[in-house]
Structure 1
Amino acid sequence: MPHQLPELKFWRHTLGALGLELFAPLITIILAYIVQKCNGLEYDIYNDIRKQANGNIITWISFILRSNFPSPQIMLYVLLYYLFEYALLVFVPGSQYKGPPTPTGYVPLYIKNGNLCYIINIVLFVLAYVFLKDVTSVHLIHDHITSLIISATLYGYLITIYLYFKGIFASYHKPDLEITGNFIYDYYKGLEWYPSIFGVNCKQLVNCRIGMTQWALITLSYALKDFDANGKGDLNYLCTSPVMISALLQIIYLGKFFYWETGYFHTMDVQHDRCGFYITWGMCVCLFFVYTFHTGWLLAQSLQPKYHQQIQLSWTQAVVVMISGIACIYINYASDAQKYYARMKKGECNIWGKPCKMMKAEYIDDTGKVKESYLLYSGYWGLSRHFHYVPEILSSFFWTVPTHYYSIMPYFYVIYLTILLTDRSFRDDERCRNKYGKHWDKYCQLVPYKIIPFLF
């Protein structure tokens, strides 16, 4: 029987979900327009509101939506991108990978070809830039970013509707189905953990192939736009350009992600978040732009002669930012890999030259069976229960800090990520306490800090 939630709160589960479904896309579209047309600067935003809408905010928002509503060509480009990523997932060689089972025992299947798919995307994008300038332009992403986001938002709504009705009428595993009877909330959170889209795992397609890949391609398109505008023949500029520094760090980070993709399938947002609006729109659109907002902001300044010199980095600044950013990316990877490896070995390994410390924790799954898991409390995971969030946030800071401090706007992603991961640490603690009971209390005594050692 489908699982029923015992209680829903009107303000959180109905109004809260509806607000996010309606206003999160709108805010993202406005942010895109602000970067594309207003240079991401508060003063230019004020002037644009006066120019386009005589100072009326509602009229200005209406103008943004009307003037940037995607053409059939833009809609087709986005659809073709989705289909291309689907084709890569299906046809690029890769072994089958079994993810962690759901509480009812269903084992999701993935295709282990992330590394190769990522390389193919990057190489083809650069080749298109070099050889197909007369046919198409990679600058289309920058030049039509607001229209692309509206288009992706429309597709996000449609994909979520498809998954909702697929869950009701063609569930992949009925025991995993969770229907509350509140359409707004069910649409937001999703009904199933691992639905399929045309035979492939929805989360791998949407989260990884579409979402994370387009993050890389958008960032790369910004870097190439900056190269065409300012960097041709100027090695010094290429090595100190804030756009290039920011973009390179993100390309490295995303390369790390696809190298470690199978580990990602064991994370909280894959295992415990169902496939609804939160994931489909979030990965198709929010990740599309919010995660690249700072680089778009940098490019907007770089393309304006009056701001261009203000944001340039010195060689010392560029080197410090690059080394610090790469170090944080590595520590983020190393901490995740450390936990994954220790669990695979069930503690029969060394961490930092010493025997691994893990405690066994029993729990009862949804079928009533007693199972066990292993909680790591050595290495990075002895410092805090979510230490990997520290280098994650710092990585985002280092690819944002080339914006300097002329505006708070480019730090939107860093602030957003900090709030997101802090909230996730509380949710994870609550989930683990409910799952492991007294074992989790003991684990919290061994590792008393949530994220920042000795502070929080």
Structure 2
Amino acid sequence: MSSKTSKGFRRTPPNPAPEYEFLGPPGAVGMLVFLPLVTYALYFNCREGFGCIPAFWDPKDGFWPSIGANPASYPADLWNFLSSTWDMKAFYVYSAYMAFLFISFFVIPGDVVEGTVVGGVGGSPLTKDRSNYKLKYKVNALRTMMLIFALIAATVYTKGVKPFLFLYDHFLGLITASLVWTYGLSIFVYIWSFLPDSNGQEKILACGGNTGNMIYDFVLGRELNPRFSASPDSTFDIKHFIELRPGLIGWIILNFGMACKQYHELGRITNSMVAVQLLEAFYVLDSLWNEPAVLTTMDITTDGFGFMLANGLLTWLPMNYCIQARYLATFPLDMGLVHCALVIITQCIGYIIFRGANGQKNRFRLYGPSAPQNRGIKYMETASGSKLMISGWWGTARHFNYFGDWLMALAWSLPCGFASPLPYFYPIYFAALLFHRELRDAEKCRKKYGKDWDKYCEIVRWRIIPYIY
């Protein structure tokens, strides 16, 4: 039930028996503190003039070279460290980038598509029936990327690579700028979630972000789809906007800056840097080309928008995922023929699995089992009315797409060689993330489908990797 707080506005009360994820409130506090520190640590432990652990790491330098050995001085040292990361120029550049993306969303034409059914609690009387609640989204992320490519090409043609050295030289400041935006946006959407929409009705809240614990809800996200208009026909969705634009596009821009640094220092680009640039750019362009497919993901349909997603998309993704290019900018490497073949084969296998499985899922959800696109796909019907595929990619493993995604992540790190584990941070972290995401999804499906889920698991035995897991 909802509690009345003002005329025409009823607020959904917190869940009286919340089911916490990510270790509950302590885990939420850990995310607020340690996720930014991990991003800083990856920079300080792999940089020019210091090396990249373990090859050049001196234990006496510690994890934080600028923090002293005296525990009593840690607060002051930590403050001095944080102060040293502030770079006004970097903040202006990152803010200008965000403003450019925001303006481009409205200026650049794009198709309007309808997403799948989203799940949440609360909402206006018109949206109480959650069985057919769908939102519309404007799709133009790829065109935005194409415009940025054109601007980059024009800049290189007229001024060379020098302007892009800023991205390498001010990388630490860009990390801090992205965190300012992360915390700022997280605070905004948290406060925004308590305000009535333009019709005076309560917002649609995420099922897992309305526990009543302020820190936990702030991190997981209270509101499911924060928008400036309550109309389902509105197309500017903050979560969808952040999902594909700042992080993915920013990742490729930072990669390009690292390639410019290598070219400036060596006078050429190594084949390992070329491989990283091409493979990661292909992944991003493929994601933007298939932008409607993101509307069927857990991030959009189930999770609230809070600090966890904001940090992941504004800071974690672009600043940490470019570590391979940043490593090669400082420690250049040329690959041999066998090394190149290993990278290409790993990438191709991963992409075939990833895109094949995701494409099949997207077509099945959008068009239904009777559509010509889904001819030959076997499925089982559940008591809830949902249909679960049991053939094709999804008959091989319940989340075979995760395995393909991880193989591609591994392919991006292989060009860096094996002198340091830090370029492999992404596939290591990504493996843990995917395993945890599969467990979360399995728990949600078990609650939703009951005995039908057990029957489905008997048919499709493997979770991610056939015959292994």
Q: Same fold (TM over 0.5)?
A: yes
State which of 8, 14, 17 in structure 2 corresponds to 1:4. Answer: 14
Determine which structure has the larger helix proportion and give its number.
Answer: 1
Shift of 1:227: 2.7
Deviation track 1:29-65 (CA, whole Å, cap 9, x = no partner) reads 2212333343323364437838755656957755542
Q: What corresponds to 1:70 in structure 2? A: 87
How do 1:382-397 residues align onto structure 2 when only pairs under 5 Å count?
382-397=395-410
2-side partners of 1:323 and 1:226: how far apart?
A: 26
User: Do residues 176 (structure 1) and 204 (structure 2) align?
Assistant: yes
Deviation track 1:188-242 (CA, whole Å, cap 9, x = no partner) reads 011111102697211222111111111121122222322333353xxxxx4x521
Moved over 3 A (4+): 7-11, 42-45, 50-64, 170-173, 349-352
Counterpart code for 1:31: L
Q: What corresponds to 2:225 in structure 1? A: 194
TM-score of the superposed pair, with normalisation by structure 1? 0.87
Q: What SS does the corresponding residue of 2:28 show, helix, strand or coil?
A: helix
Deviation track 1:236-272 (CA, whole Å, cap 9, x = no partner) reads xx4x521221121000011110111101110122211
User: Do residues 97 (structure 1) and 113 (structure 2) align?
Assistant: yes
Shift of 1:273: 1.3
Q: What SS does the corresponding residue of 1:406 show, helix, strand or coil?
A: coil
State which of 330, 333, 347 in structure 2 corresponds to 1:300. Answer: 330
Counterpart code for 2:397: S
Q: What SS does the corresponding residue of 1:195 show, helix, strand or coil?
A: coil
Q: What corresponds to 1:273 in structure 2? A: 303
Shift of 1:7: 3.3
Q: What corresponds to 1:358 in structure 2? A: 379
1-side partners of 2:395 and 2:21: how far apart?
A: 39
Instruction: Pick closer, same or farther for the CA change 1:333–1:250 going to 2, 3 Å.
Output: same
Question: Which moved further from structure 2: 394-403 or 432-441?
Answer: 432-441
2-side partners of 1:358 and 1:10: how far apart?
A: 30
Deviation track 1:298-337 (CA, whole Å, cap 9, x = no partner) reads 22212xxxxxxxx320134224413431442243112100
User: Do residues 35 (structure 1) and 46 (structure 2) align?
Assistant: yes
2-side partners of 1:407 and 1:15: how far apart?
A: 32
2-side partners of 1:412 and 1:361: how far apart?
A: 40
Identity level (%): 25
Q: What corresponds to 1:308 in structure 2? A: none
2-side partners of 1:106 and 1:158: how far apart?
A: 29
How do 1:30-429 residues align onto structure 2 when only pairs under 5 Å count?
30-37=41-48, 38-42=50-54, 44-46=56-58, 49=61, 52=66, 58=74, 62-71=79-88, 73-103=89-119, 104=130, 105-133=132-160, 137-171=163-197, 174=202, 176-177=204-205, 179-196=210-227, 200-232=236-268, 238=269, 241-302=271-332, 311-348=333-370, 355-363=376-384, 372-429=385-442
Shift of 1:158: 0.6
Matched-pair contact (CA < 8 Å) for 1:89–1:209: no
Matched-pair contact (CA < 8 Å) for 1:226–1:299: yes
Instruction: Pick closer, same or farther for the CA change 1:7–1:140 going to 2, 3 Å.
Output: same
Shift of 1:106: 3.5
Q: What SS does the corresponding residue of 1:110 show, helix, strand or coil?
A: strand
Counterpart code for 2:105: L
Question: Which moved further from structure 2: 184-193 or 9-18?
Answer: 9-18
2-side partners of 1:36 and 1:129: how far apart?
A: 25
Q: What corresponds to 2:126 in structure 1? A: none
Counterpart code for 1:251: A
Matched-pair contact (CA < 8 Å) for 1:386–1:451: yes
2-side partners of 1:92 and 1:56: how far apart?
A: 55
Counterpart code for 1:210: P
2-side partners of 1:27 and 1:60: how far apart?
A: 18
Q: What corresponds to 1:369 in structure 2? A: none
User: Do residues 448 (structure 1) and 461 (structure 2) align?
Assistant: yes
Aligned residues: 431
Question: Which moved further from structure 2: 148-157 or 1-10?
Answer: 1-10
Counterpart code for 1:181: G
Shift of 1:95: 1.5
Matched-pair contact (CA < 8 Å) for 2:86–2:176: yes
Q: What SS does the corresponding residue of 2:52 show, helix, strand or coil?
A: coil
1-side partners of 2:159 and 2:215: how far apart?
A: 44
Deviation track 1:330-384 (CA, whole Å, cap 9, x = no partner) reads 43112100111133332236789x7111122242xxxxxxxx2221111111110
Matched-pair contact (CA < 8 Å) for 1:74–1:151: yes
Q: What SS does the corresponding residue of 1:265 show, helix, strand or coil?
A: helix
Matched-pair contact (CA < 8 Å) for 1:294–1:413: no
Instruction: Pick closer, same or farther for the CA change 1:200–1:48 going to 2, 3 Å.
Output: farther
Q: What SS does the corresponding residue of 2:137 show, helix, strand or coil?
A: strand
Counterpart code for 2:135: P
1-side partners of 2:429 and 2:351: how far apart?
A: 18
Deviation track 1:94-131 (CA, whole Å, cap 9, x = no partner) reads 12111112233542221121221222222322322332
Matched-pair contact (CA < 8 Å) for 2:28–2:215: yes
Q: What SS does the corresponding residue of 1:375 show, helix, strand or coil?
A: strand
1-side partners of 2:272 and 2:424: how far apart?
A: 14
Question: Which moved further from structure 2: 86-95 or 27-36?
Answer: 27-36
1-side partners of 2:249 and 2:204: how far apart?
A: 29
Counterpart code for 2:202: K
1-side partners of 2:43 and 2:435: how far apart?
A: 26
Matched-pair contact (CA < 8 Å) for 1:99–1:266: yes
Deviation track 1:172-195 (CA, whole Å, cap 9, x = no partner) reads 763622532211011101111110
> RMSD in angstroms over aligned alpha carbons?
2.6
